[in-house]
């Protein structure tokens, strides 16, 4: 079983691990946006100076890569941008992203820890909505229910383990549902 927390899994999936091309592209994008963020947000003088320093470092690295014809800098950036786009939670249809979001939704609401069955049901609903929204902006509950029936079969227990999600304090779901999930 994966010992990392679901939040660590999420961060690694979306932003890439330390030193990855995803991490490189994400860090550069953040650094380049810091100047605008500093102008738009209420920041202390110390935070503004730090944002300006990080922005200048990013600009200096880009200039260095251009002046020294450093193709590997730009290839790494391109690879990282592709990886970020591929794993973008807004456009990806990875069922594990929806499982994570369903769980986080329960956590944010301050409700008692949900059962696996409840998290899976919410994940399927989110996944179905995302698939439908690829084609149109307004969808009905009937369309969502029909799309849930069309979703590919998943080994949800494997997904729970992969993202490090355990629900040790959750009330057990119905016995029939647990048997179905263990298959």
The proportion of the chain whose per-residue pLDDT surpasses 90, expressed as a percent, equals 22
Give the model confidence (pLDDT) of 83-127 as tens digits: 888 777 666 788 888 888 888 887 776 667 788 898 999 999 988
What pLDDT sits at residue 67?
96
On the CB side of 156, CA atoms within 13 Å amount to 25
Domain ranges of the chain: 1-14+88-169, 17-86
Better-predicted residue by pLDDT, 89 or 16: 16
Task: Evaluate if residue 31 carries a pLDDT over 80.
Answer: yes
pLDDT value at residue 3: 47
Least Cα distance to 167 among 112, 98, 124 occurs for 112
Which residues lie closer than 8 Å to 61 by C-beta, 6 or more apart? 28, 73
pLDDT tens per residue, range 137-182 = 788 899 989 999 999 999 998 998 888 888 766 665 556 555 555 5
């Amino acid at each position: 079983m994966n010992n990392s927390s679901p939040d660590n899994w999420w961060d690694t999936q979306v932003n890439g691990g330390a030193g990855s091309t995803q991490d490189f592209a994400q860090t550069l994008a953040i650094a380049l946006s810091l100047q605008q963020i500093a102008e738009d947000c209420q920041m202390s003088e110390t935070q503004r100076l730090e944002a300006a320093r990080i922005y200048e470092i990013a600009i200096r690295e880009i200039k260095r890569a251009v002046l020294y014809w450093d193709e590997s800098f730009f290839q790494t950036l391109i690879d990282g941008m592709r990886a970020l786009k591929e794993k973008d939670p807004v456009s990806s249809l990875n069922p594990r992203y929806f499982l994570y979001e369903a769980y986080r939704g329960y956590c944010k609401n301050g409700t008692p820890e949900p059962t696996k069955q409840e998290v899976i049901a919410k994940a399927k609903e989110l996944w179905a909505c995302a698939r439908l929204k690829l084609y149109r902006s307004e969808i009905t509950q009937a369309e969502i229910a029909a799309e849930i029936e069309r979703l590919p079969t998943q080994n949800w227990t494997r997904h729970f383990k992969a993202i490090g999600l355990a629900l040790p304090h959750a009330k057990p779901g119905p016995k029939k549902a647990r048997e179905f999930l263990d298959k």
